[in-house]
Chains A and B, each alone.
Chain A
Amino acid sequence: MLSFLSGLSLPAVITGFAVPAVVGVIVATVTNVALVNSTTGAPSGDDNPANQAIIVYGAR
């Protein structure tokens, strides 16, 4: 279907889209699981931003 929609040949779609897509998903999985898991979870105790007296929308 992608070949039909894009007007490219099937090999071009496979090498140009499918292969990079698979590689991209693998890279995304590895990097993001590592990045996100390293920061998961709200800090506890005094480190928790919820314990701040002043909560700002943002900071310049």
Chain B
Amino acid sequence: MLLLWPSLVGGGYPLARDLVFTPRPPFTLDTLGLGAEPPRAVPLDAIVWLGSWLVGGAVLARVALLTALLLAGWGAHRVLPSAPLASRLLLGGLAVWNPFTVERLALGQWALLLGYAALWWLLPAVVAALVRRDAPALGRVALWTALASVTPTGGVAAVLVVLVTVLVRGRDRCGAALVALALVIQLPWILPGLLGASAQRADPDGIAAFAARAESGAGVFVSLLGLGGIWDGSSVPASREGAVTVVTAVLLVGGFVALAARSRSRRELAVWREVLVLGAIGLAMAGGTSVPVLGDGLAAMMDLPGVALLRDAQKWVLLLAPLAFTATAMLLSPLARQVRLGVWPAVWVLSAMCLPFLLIPDGAHHVSSTLRPVRYPPDFADIRRTLDGGHDGAVLVLPWRSYRVFTWGNATSVYDPASRWFDREIVRDDTLRVGDLTVSGESRRARAVSSVARSGVLDPDAVKELRSAGIGWALVYVDDPASDDLELAGLRPVAGGRDVLLYSLGEADAVDGPGAAAVGVVVAGDGIVVLLLMASLGAVLTGRRRVIAPPMTPRTCYSDDVFKGE
């Protein structure tokens, strides 16, 4: 609640950095991942569409943000069922309040945090499935994998969690079934990634632009060991720029050493081998692009499908998080066992809660500028009504840039919300500027019209060219200072007002879409996953009804019957 405070107390919609919510996002080819851009938000867009349709985007935003953090804290404390309360609370606190969540929240990447939170539940679920080998246990694995896989990054992380757990303790048919299950759940983004209209080659410069960043003079790997090191300096709290980075890393490494040295710690953390392997993989993936040879090698392989997923390297420290936080939390265990506080465990609770806060005291303040909701100008709703009743054609967004800063919004750059408002294909500049670096986008449609759009001159010849490219509308953000340089002579706004204007370019020519076969394959893949998840949910619910169990506590849930059954 402390982290999410601005979004919980203010009205409106979160709109900053990558955090974009609108009242009713449309369902388009982009939602399926078959638009002009790579399926980076698949199946997330479909889930947001469904959730917004049910409860509205404003409510969904709050629920989604809160759910991600609560699930992380709740799931984390269950991983140490036999540890003292203080250690479990510290673990829950660290899982929520740490450099990774704060920095990614500041960047607005809530879906990545949802995937991170699901991993805390997925790992024990896989272990339980390998022991129990029944339908409800398999169903839980499917459901947690699906939650983690709302984005491709979370999906890859989930597959790695399942794969590593199976390799460590269950190399048999059940293990193979679990890996296959996790892979099938990735179909919603794998299929459009292979069949979509976006360019297959991502810009190799993205590797350097999005490589992990040193947050202090101690270097990149020290930042990564402390679960920080995000590529964007403006997402890093000021408190992380100094010695705290080193202190955090030392604390976490101390936890690793203690875990390795103390057999009791390893007994308390039944999945210590899994988290150790996952941590090593996560650290290697996060820091790999910062090593010149590896970074250059990866840049040369950007033609290969899926390699672009690796370019924002620091996000893979989410695989290191279980090892780092459990090991650190267990440092408190010996002390908590020796010092008895009678009926006042609140002392331990407060102490355990304070440590994460002390490591990033400005965490809440830092993310507030991203989370503070804004109210959209009425122009958006007006334009949506016009487009809904208007002629065919995609919408070209001007001035030609990818991220924007609105005078009516937060004082931070934000992803263009047009695609989340209007039921049309939105053609926008997808070039990313990271400081002085420029990373080319992958939309073929944007590339086709970029010269006209960048010039800002929509004379009759330019309009004709745009219409032949399937573009029938131009959307202009009036508050953008570059809008003064646009030349729209002869065009008359048909909707909007002071902040956003919509111009009609006339009926656009039809352009080739992804094709019925590609749509059919993707929809079939989505259907398989939906059916699989419904069956999994049914198995879990049926299994819960059949079991007449003693009261469920963290100890009986995840310790005695599961971890000792290996």
Contacts and interface: CB of A to CB of B under 8 A. Distances in A.
Given A60-B233, A60-B434, A48 B404 contact: no
B360 to A, nearest CB: 13
Contacts of A58: 107, 231-235, 413, 434-435
Nearest to B402: A57
A33 B1 CA distance: 12
B444 interface: no
Interface residue SS majority, chain A: helix
Contact of B234 (A42, A54, A59): A59
B411 A48 contact: yes
Contacts, number: 124
A28 B346 contact: no
A43 B372 CA distance: 14
Interface string A1-19: 0001111000110011101
A24 to B, nearest CB: 7
B364 to A, nearest CB: 6
B551 interface: yes
Nearest to B555: A7
Interface residues of A, number: 36
Given A24-B353, A56-B435, A50 B480 contact: yes
A10 B258 CA distance: 34
A52 B2 contact: no
A22 B234 CA distance: 33
Contacts of A19: 346
A13 to B, nearest CB: 10
Given A53-B482, A60-B435, A16 B552 contact: no
Given A40-B372, A60-B231, A6 B553 contact: yes
Given A15-B343, A59-B232, A23 B350 contact: yes
A28 B334 CA distance: 30
Interface string B331-374: 00000000000011110111001000000000011001100100
Given A31-B364, A42-B409, A57 B433 contact: yes
Contacts of B551: 4, 7
Given A50-B479, A58-B232, A5 B407 contact: no
A28 B5 contact: yes
Given A5-B552, A7-B554, A50-B479, A57 B409 contact: no
B434 A15 contact: no
Given A7-B551, A7-B554, A57-B433, A15 B346 contact: yes
A22 B433 CA distance: 44
B184 interface: no
A6 to B, nearest CB: 7
Given A5-B552, A50-B409, 19 more contacts: A7-B553, A12-B345, A16-B346, A16-B348, A20-B350, A36-B372, A39-B368, A42-B410, A43-B411, A50-B406, A50-B411, A50-B479, A51-B481, A53-B481, A55-B404, A56-B413, A57-B402, A57-B432, A60-B231
Q: Which 10 A-B pairs have the closest CB atoms?
A: A58-B232, A7-B553, A16-B345, A32-B5, A50-B405, A59-B435, A56-B433, A35-B365, A28-B2, A20-B349
28 contacts: A5-B552, A7-B554, A12-B345, A15-B346, A16-B85, A16-B349, A20-B349, A20-B353, A28-B364, A35-B365, A36-B6, A36-B368, A36-B372, A39-B369, A48-B405, A49-B405, A50-B405, A53-B481, A54-B433, A55-B404, A56-B403, A57-B403, A57-B433, A58-B232, A58-B234, A59-B234, A60-B233, A60-B435
